[in-house]
Amino acid sequence: MKFIPIYASAGITGFESPAAEYLQQSLNLDEILIEHPSATFIVQAKGDSMQGVGIFDGDILVVDRHLTVKNLDVIVACFNGEFVCKILDLNNRLLLSANKDNEPVAITSNEMFTLEGVVSKSIRCHRPSNFFGQR
């Protein structure tokens, strides 16, 4: 893949393409998106509970198991048999949504909770992708 360093603006000027002035440079998205390949997996977000932090339904999440979780990190976990993406409040043992319509959920000793990894990046798809069978 080739990378052309252009900063896009929303305006349309009708002038010659700015790409004509740049040389192509190599770009490997794996190197940009994935810091720890053997400890990283990709999932697709479902629902609206994380919109407050910019994660929307259908976004792609890069989840890194190598990262040490910090208080208020966005994480993917298995909670009572269901995979969830939430903000982890370590101090209060809560799973927080980034949508004011959703209440915090306590992680008690009665709950089954497994941290799967820290969300290091999210990618917005503006068209459905067949990667997740969306066509």
Whole-angstrom Cα distance, residue 22 to residue 93?
51
Has 86 been annotated as catalytic?
yes
Pick the catalytic residue: 9, 46, 49, 100? 49
Across 20-133, the runs of DSSP E, i.e. the strands, are: 25-26, 40-44, 60-64, 73-79, 82-89, 94-96, 105-106, 113-123
Pick the catalytic residue: 46, 70, 86, 122? 86
Whole-angstrom Cα distance, residue 94 to residue 106?
5
Has 49 been annotated as catalytic?
yes
CA contacts within 13 A on the Cβ side of 29: 5
Which positions ≥6 away from 75 have C-beta within 8 Å? 69, 85, 86, 87, 88, 115, 116, 117, 118, 119
Active centre residues (catalytic):
49, 86
